[in-house]
Structure 1
Amino acid sequence: MPGTHNKAQLPSNPTLKEINWYKKQINWGELPPFYHLVASSVSEAEGILEHGFDNAVKSLLDKRNWNLDLLDGYETELGEIQCNKKPRIALHQVFTERGFELWAQPYAKDVIIDQYVKNNRFMEFKVWDPLSMKCLIRINQLHTFIGFYFERGDKADKAIILHAHKVVHKIITFLQIQLNVVKLDGVTIKALYQLCEKDSRACSDEINIAKIALGEPINRE
């Protein structure tokens, strides 16, 4: 196994499958539980645009739930719904106690809706149910995992964090094409990563100063 460790290489722009393979190579053929938790969440988020089962993103894109009167829409003879406008939504990136989440919220006039609303003529969706439509994706315990990486993580841990950022960016870009995203805010994965990186460097500098004061050698890398 040690020989396998030496041969394992991570591509410059790895897929999730390649990151998982690399993690196994440097971890005696296993995926640690914490890593597996995060990787599974990233995989679920990555497949949200491809899988056929119902999810919050598909609910947003279901034109049968769009308010056709507000969106200048109509149904063709073939039963297809055509709209000249797209429903407005606000996207919010947030870290909760559960992990990273991407939230969507609709508008009624210029008011952001954050509760169950049905058949309101000012809202651009016929029904808005935050229980099934608000949280588009969740990456479980990503905030804790980022902190773990800066304490004792490896290249695979960093790669899965960066890949999570790319997946979220891809989903946001997709939504910006399919819907009218008028607001995008919150704390991104990249922002939290950079904040933790800054704190980690500050902590390292403090340790080095303490070592110098004690006359001990420091890591010059």
Structure 2
Amino acid sequence: MFNLNKNMNPTFYTYKVAYDHGTAPNLDQYYCSLAICKPVIRRTAKVGDLIVGFDTRENSNRIVYIMIVDEVISWHDYIIRCETDPLLKNKIPCYENDYNGDCIWKVESFGISHQPLKSRSGHGINCYHTDVEKGKNVLLGKKFMYFGNGENIDLRIPEKFHRIIPNRGHKSKANIPYLEPFIEFINKELELRGLQEFKFYGNPKLPLEPKNWE
């Protein structure tokens, strides 16, 4: 279940996951990472914050994933961690349609290279500013649930919470009064569905090739 540390004054971020290819957010059995989208959230989020990504258009009340931020690290440190930490090494893409990699930038002698690794993210040289310079950080969470395309678990919020769904960008300040009621709602829903483990429960909405995520 999701429990927030009130002493950390958590921020409640919500946004729409426009392109759910499996790279943003990026999931494995250890971490949920947010590295190559939502630069403002990545730049401002802190440990203990709650992030919820919603589907788009007519399904905008459906939750794609939930994450509590455990670590906020710079892009430079994230690259080094992915190269040295066995739990993060799969975050480096190995080929163009690699389902794992969101660590698409490289550290060179002069800093972070402007030439990304090939990946299924579709991010190229023109994304360097948004990914690295504007976003600055990568968010890591061990407490997450990812529902992806919703085929396995279709988790939707009731109308009383619809104000937390943004039209564009993200919401945070307007979400303050909804934080505790939302956590209570989510935990009750998870209990009813028998969901206790922090892990991914579904496949990306827009896969580029077949993959078994179990």
* TM-score bucket of the superposed structures, by smaller chain: under 0.3
Structure 1 length as normaliser, TM-score?
0.23
* Greater relative contact order (Cα < 8 A, sep 6+): 2
Larger radius of gyration: 1
The structure with the greater share of residues assigned to helix is: 1
